[in-house]
Amino acid sequence: MARLLFFGKLGDAAGGRERQWPVKSGGVTINDLVAAIGKADPALGVSLEDETVRCIVNEQMAARSVTVHDGDEIAFLPPVSGG
């Protein structure tokens, strides 16, 4: 299982700040992970598909093409605004 963390408004869309998600042997890309989440939870999937959402894998910024594996921690951060 991968540990998924959702920050800001993404936590609201997910109905919580954390989920466990099964990852198939050999891993999946973040893009594939987002697509799978979208099939299970369409509203959250739409939020995660936003290109401005940043992905962090094991505390390192990651492109959506990065492969994640069982035991990884994947955090999703919404865009930050402020003044």
72: its two tokens: 């990884």
pLDDT tens digits for range 70-79: 999 999 999 8
Residue in 22, 79, 82 with CA at minimum distance from that of residue 48: 79
pLDDT digits (tens, 9 = 90+) for 41-66: 999 999 999 999 999 999 999 999 99
pLDDT band at 82 (very low <50, low <70, confident <90, very high): low
pLDDT of residue 83: 55
Residue 45, class by beta-carbon neighbours within 10 Å (0-12 exposed, 13-18 middle, 19+ buried)?
A: middle
Q: Which CATH class is domain 2-77?
A: alpha beta
Q: Is the pLDDT score of 13 beyond 80?
A: yes
Selected residue with higher pLDDT from 80 and 1? 1
| Max CA distance (Å), the chain | 44
pTM of the model: 0.92
Which value, in Å, is the radius of gyration of the alpha carbons in the chain? Answer: 12
Q: Band of the pLDDT at 81, cuts 50, 70, 90?
A: low
- Alpha-carbon distance of 31 to 37, in angstroms, equals 10
